[in-house]
Homo-oligomer: A and B are copies of this chain.
Amino acid sequence: MKQKITIKTIAKELGVSSSTVSKALKDSHEISKETKERIQAYADHYNYKPNHLALQLRNQKTKVIGVILPKIVHHFFSTVISGIEDGANKKGYNIMVCFSNESYKKEVETLKVLSNGSVDGIIMSIARETLHNKDYDHFKGIVSEEIPFVLFDRVVDEILCDKVVVDDVGAGYKATKHLLENGRKKIALITTPNHVNVGALRRQGYEKALIEQYININTGLIVEIDETKSIKPQIEKVFENDIDGVFAVNEIYAANAMRIAKELGKSVPNDISIIGFTDGLISEYSSPSITTIAQHGFTMGQQAVDLLIQRIENDAIDFRPKKIVISSDLKLRESTKSM
């Protein structure tokens, strides 16, 4: 890389002090018009750009927000990033993105790297493995050093920090209720293992909707997908019951369910209704298109970053952690057209 021009070189070349150059470039009233013009012309000509590192060191802030995600090739998370970037940008921040790849070890490492001062604050969603281990010690340092920190979507109560979540219980309830209103009686739930808390919450909503209608919870209709194994056979199993509705907690599960239904010669939505979660492209473009719960990832990202920047910029803010709950909407499509 070429040697960059600095304030010092400008000062030397023009025979003034670096303070003068600094002030001139900021158009300070302390500097005479002629000197300012000379310096600014020189800086322009040699394309002077202030060195960000020096500024960061002096100001003790980086204007960078760290983001740690379980994965990126994933519609919901990429939507959230998009929202974070949008919100950050509006306030003059950039984002540094890292991935835990759902691994506990990588999450710990990444968190350590980001908390060494390269970012002003961190937004993250917890890795699946970490949720499974229930090992949250690596967050203690973050909290005790009072690094601005916001968790979203996959959060846990044990960590005292700001949080942004969707109303998972309410969403699960809405989805299930919609199926019930469609006249469905035997509704399967395809969910994650219970340690993934969003899965557990959506399940609560599912159960609440059933109980309200005096329908017993049949655990035979509930599949907790083990992602280390092939997904499809696990879902196929629940189809052995004579189900007429499926509520899947993400769109991959929903798409798999639909495929299986078709293979079994069942018509969607005539014989069976299917509803997914996360409004991604699969749901939109499959045929029939799939009714889903729209999670508003973009909004979630924006809210998370707004919360974080408040913490960063207002030291005097209320100490108590805030929790923002984003409501989710039912997006009606073909897979649950009422008969």
Contacts and interface: CB of A to CB of B under 8 A. Distances in A.
A315 B95 CA distance: 28
Interface string A93-121: 01111110000000000000101111000
18 contacts: A1-B145, A1-B148, A52-B117, A53-B60, A53-B118, A54-B57, A64-B96, A64-B118, A72-B72, A72-B85, A75-B281, A78-B78, A94-B113, A96-B97, A252-B281, A262-B287, A281-B282, A282-B285
Query: Oligomeric state, in number of copies?
Result: 2
A51 B82 contact: no
Interface of A: 1-2, 4, 47, 49-54, 56-57, 60, 62, 64, 71-75, 78-79, 81-82, 85, 94-99, 113, 115-118, 141, 144-148, 252, 255-256, 258-259, 262, 280-282, 285-287, 315
Contacts of A74: 78
Contact of A94 (B118, B280, B282): B118
Contacts of A49: 115-117
B99 A96 contact: no
Contact of A285 (B50, B79, B117, B286): B286
Given A94-B96, A94-B98, A116 B50 contact: yes
B94 A95 contact: no
Contacts of A117: 4, 49, 51-53
B52 A118 contact: yes
A87 to B, nearest CB: 12
Given A116-B50, A285-B259, A85 B99 contact: yes
Contact of A62 (B4, B53, B82): B53
Nearest to A94: B96
Contacts of A258: 287
Nearest to A145: B2
A81 B97 contact: yes
A160 to B, nearest CB: 15
Given A1-B145, A62-B53, A285-B259, A78 B73 contact: yes
A53 B64 contact: no
Contacts of A146: 1-2
A57 to B, nearest CB: 5
